[in-house]
A = this chain, B = another copy of it.
Amino acid sequence: MLKKTNKRPVAGEIPAAWTPALKRLVDRCREQVDGALQTGLRDPNRYTHEVYRAMRYSLTAGGKRLRPVLCLLACRLLSGRAAAALPVACALEYIHTYSLIHDDLPALDNDDFRRGKPSCHKKFGEATAILAGDALLTEAFTLLSRPDLLRRIDPLRRLRVIEEISRAAGLGGMIGGQEADIRGEGMKVSLAYVNSLHARKTGALISAALVCGGLVGGGEAGPLKILRRFGERIGLAFQIQDDLLNIEGQPGLTGKAVGTDALRRKATYPALIGLEASRKTAGRLVAEAVSLLAPFGAQAGPLAAVSYYMITRNR
Contacts and interface: CB of A to CB of B under 8 A. Distances in A.
A197 to B, nearest CB: 13
A182 B51 CA distance: 12
Contacts of A49: 171, 176, 179
Given A138-B170, A142-B166, A144-B162, A131 B175 contact: yes
Contacts of A160: 145, 147
Given A155-B156, A175-B51, A166 B182 contact: no
A37 to B, nearest CB: 15
Contacts of A183: 50
A124 to B, nearest CB: 11
A170 B107 contact: no
A179 B127 CA distance: 9
A220 interface: no
Interface string A166-205: 1101111001101100110000000000000000000000
A288 interface: no
Contacts of A128: 179
A146 interface: yes
Contacts of A169: 138
20 contacts: A51-B171, A51-B175, A55-B171, A102-B131, A107-B125, A108-B127, A128-B179, A131-B175, A131-B179, A133-B134, A138-B169, A138-B171, A139-B166, A139-B171, A145-B160, A145-B162, A145-B163, A146-B163, A147-B163, A155-B159
Interface string A113-136: 000000000000111101101110
Contacts of A52: 171
A108 to B, nearest CB: 5
A105 interface: yes
Contacts of A156: 155
Given A51-B176, A176-B51, A105 B131 contact: no
Contacts of A105: 130
Contacts of A134: 98, 102, 133-134, 137, 175
